[in-house]
Amino acid sequence: MSNIKLGIIGGGQLGSMLCQAAKKLDIKTVIYSDDAEAPAQNFSDEFICAKYNDNEKIYDFAKKVNVITYEFENIPYETLNELNKLKPVSPKPSVNRLIQHRLAEKDFINKLNIRTTRYVHVESKEDLLPLNDFLPGILKTTTMGYDGKGQYPIKNIDQIDSLNINFNNEYILEKLVKLKKEISVIITRFNNNKYEIYEPIENTHEDQILRRSKIPAEINEKIFEQSKEWAIFIAEELKYIGTLCVEFFIDRNDNLYVNEIAPRVHNSGHLTINAFNVSQFENHVRAVCSLEQIPLKKISNAEMINLIGDQIVPYRNNPKISDNQFLFDYLKKDIKEKRKMGHLTTLK
């Protein structure tokens, strides 16, 4: 019987899956979210609904738990930093601050001599005008972006006025990579050179949202090894504790680029729940709660499909799935276009 209580900031599906993993390990969970309808409250032992800058509620939350983690990266640095003075926050607030800012994140990766897309900082319309060299490209907000939100694909400079870009935000402009494939590598780091790493996962996006993930990824040996090496290097450099995901691009000449890092469990790793002896969620809980590290074993090849918007409806009405399939309904009340509502994993 463990006496650990884990505090999780954020109440979406990743929070739900962390709560389920914690329950399996006999760890109690408290979810803190600013969304009264946060689906993770269906899976946690306790739920606190308050703004992320509500000092009093933040303090109450810290008092209740032994360890704190988070399931999304867009949390004010101040909040994590204050919490960290009360109870250990993993991954460290400084890691979150670095990664939640696309420019700082990309500068950090380049300093490690790891290839990223070409990018440039953009603060005004005037900054954009001379940047033909980066087109076609994608303009991305430096903070708060996810699932393609805050992104403007730009083919030529003449388009800029019609895009109604809000220059109160800061951006980076990234040169478009001629993509052959996208992959991700999920790693859980426990301590110095102590980690469990999953094999690369092949991802397909539609409208900048992840649609499906599968293992094995159809990639060559060099990319298989290089992507894992880079993920290990990044996790070690950050002295990271917990599960981290590195998203990669592969271009048509088989060059590998780091696209971005997620300082948390990741959508592309949902298949680890059914395809491995220990899921990315369980590994995260084990690492942040300083539990035993268990050698990772693959059970099966697998494919995961995200159920986006009303794609969940047929599964809610009449879930006809076979023995090798696992359906996850995130129990979100409102079905919205482009909203991740659930997923289906098929073991192969």
Interacting residue with ligand ADP among 36, 112, 179, 321 (CB under 6 A): 179
Sign for the pseudo-dihedral over CA of 126, 207, 185, 26: positive
Can residue 282 be called a binding residue for ligand ADP (CB under 6 A)?
no
Q: Which is nearer to ligand ADP, 38 or 261 (CB)?
A: 261
Q: Which is nearer to ligand ADP, 145 or 200 (CB)?
A: 145
Q: Which is nearer to ligand ADP, 135 or 296 (CB)?
A: 135
Pairing of β 302-308 and β 209-215: antiparallel
What is the Cα–Cα distance from 67 to 342, expressed in whole angstroms? Answer: 28
- Min dist. Cβ of residue 127 to ligand ADP (A): 18
Nearest to 276 by CA among 303, 244, 304, 299: 299
- Min dist. Cβ of residue 309 to ligand ADP (A): 17
Query: ω before 136 within 30° of 0 (cis)?
Result: yes
- Min dist. Cβ of residue 235 to ligand ADP (A): 19
Q: What is the SS3 assignment for 151?
A: strand
Residue corresponding to tokens 């359906």: 327
- Min dist. Cβ of residue 160 to ligand ADP (A): 18
Of the listed pieces 17-25, 176-184, 193-201, 317-325, which binds ligand ADP according to CB under 6 A? 176-184
Give the binding-site size for ligand ADP (rule: CB under 6 A). Answer: 16
What is the Cα–Cα distance from 96 to 110, expressed in whole angstroms? Answer: 18
- Min dist. Cβ of residue 102 to ligand ADP (A): 8
Residue 44, token pair as written in the block? 């946690």
Q: Which is nearer to ligand ADP, 18 or 183 (CB)?
A: 183
Interacting residue with ligand ADP among 31, 114, 177, 258 (CB under 6 A): 177
State the binding string over 145-174 for ligand ADP (x if CB under 6 A, else -): xxxx-------------------------x
- Min dist. Cβ of residue 22 to ligand ADP (A): 26
Nearest to 306 by CA among 333, 268, 337, 280: 268
User: Are the beta carbons of 309 and 207 closer than 8 angstroms?
Assistant: no
Nearest to 242 by CA among 18, 4, 13: 18
Nearest to 65 by CA among 38, 25, 33, 28: 28
User: Are the beta carbons of 182 and 254 closer than 8 angstroms?
Assistant: no
State the binding string over 242-281 for ligand ADP (x if CB under 6 A, else -): -----x-----------xx---------------------
Pairing of β 119-122 and β 171-175: antiparallel
| Residue 145: other Cβ atoms inside 10 A | 18
Q: Which is nearer to ligand ADP, 129 or 179 (CB)?
A: 179
Query: Which of the residues 93 through 152 are near ligand ADP (CB under 6 A)?
Result: 117, 138, 145-148
What is the Cα–Cα distance from 83 to 91, expressed in whole angstroms? Answer: 12
- Min dist. Cβ of residue 74 to ligand ADP (A): 10
- Min dist. Cβ of residue 138 to ligand ADP (A): 5
Q: Which is nearer to ligand ADP, 90 or 268 (CB)?
A: 268
Residue 201, token pair as written in the block? 């996962």
What is the Cα–Cα distance from 123 to 135, expressed in whole angstroms? Answer: 17
- Min dist. Cβ of residue 260 to ligand ADP (A): 5
Residues that bind ligand ADP (CB under 6 A): 117, 138, 145-148, 174, 176-177, 179, 182, 205, 208, 247, 259-260
